[in-house]
């Protein structure tokens, strides 16, 4: 049930996303000059994944964390709904032992 809610969630600034196996954070939602429809400005976790820093053709849409970590993608191309725990785990590593992983998850949830 929760999975269905997350799949149909409207993209918002700050949401974590996955697209073609790459993870990132939405930094902009809206139009891009010269293109139709709504776009998502993504700051990719991989600093070389994108094409710019959020400034395109002299217009600043968002500020990416690195000179080449930003790009725009169509909303239908991304998967929304990654939890904070999942994002932290995928970014900083996994635990081999399920009991240890559960313990650390509980610690994170209590913050």
Of residues 57 and 96, the one with the higher pLDDT is: 57
CA distance 8 to 59: 30
User: What is the pTM (predicted TM-score) of this model?
Assistant: 0.67
Q: Does residue 48 form part of some domain?
A: yes
Range of the domain at 83: 15-109
Number of domains in the chain: 1
pLDDT per residue as tens digits for the range 14-24: 999 999 989 99
Q: Does residue 47 form part of some domain?
A: yes
Q: Does residue 26 form part of some domain?
A: yes
The pLDDT score that the predictor gives to residue 95 is: 55
Q: Does residue 4 form part of some domain?
A: no
Q: Does residue 10 form part of some domain?
A: no
Taking alpha carbons only, the member of 29, 23, 62 closest to residue 44 is 23
The pLDDT score that the predictor gives to residue 84 is: 66
Q: 10-16: long-range contacts at Cβ-Cβ below 8 A with a sequence spacing of 24 or more?
A: 11/40, 11/75, 11/78, 11/80, 15/80, 16/82, 16/84, 16/87
What CATH number has the domain bearing residue 87? 2.30.30.190
Instruction: Outline where the chain has alpha helix (H).
Output: 2-7, 84-92, 98-109
pLDDT at 104 over 90: no
pLDDT at 28 over 80: yes
- Reported as a pLDDT band with limits 50, 70 and 90, residue 4 is very low
Q: Does residue 2 form part of some domain?
A: no
CA distance 40 to 52: 14
């Amino acid at each position: 049930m929760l999975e269905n809610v997350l799949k149909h969630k409207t993209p918002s600034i700050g949401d974590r996303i996955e697209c073609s196996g790459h993870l990132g954070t939405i930094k902009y939602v809206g139009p891009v000059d010269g293109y139709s429809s709504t776009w998502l400005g993504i700051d990719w976790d991989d600093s070389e994944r994108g094409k710019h820093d959020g400034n395109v053709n002299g217009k600043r849409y968002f500020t990416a964390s690195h000179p080449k970590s930003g790009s725009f993608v169509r909303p239908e191309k991304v998967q929304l709904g990654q939890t904070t725990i999942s994002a932290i785990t995928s970014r900083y590593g996994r635990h081999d032992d399920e009991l240890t992983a559960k313990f650390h998850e509980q610690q994170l949830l209590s913050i």
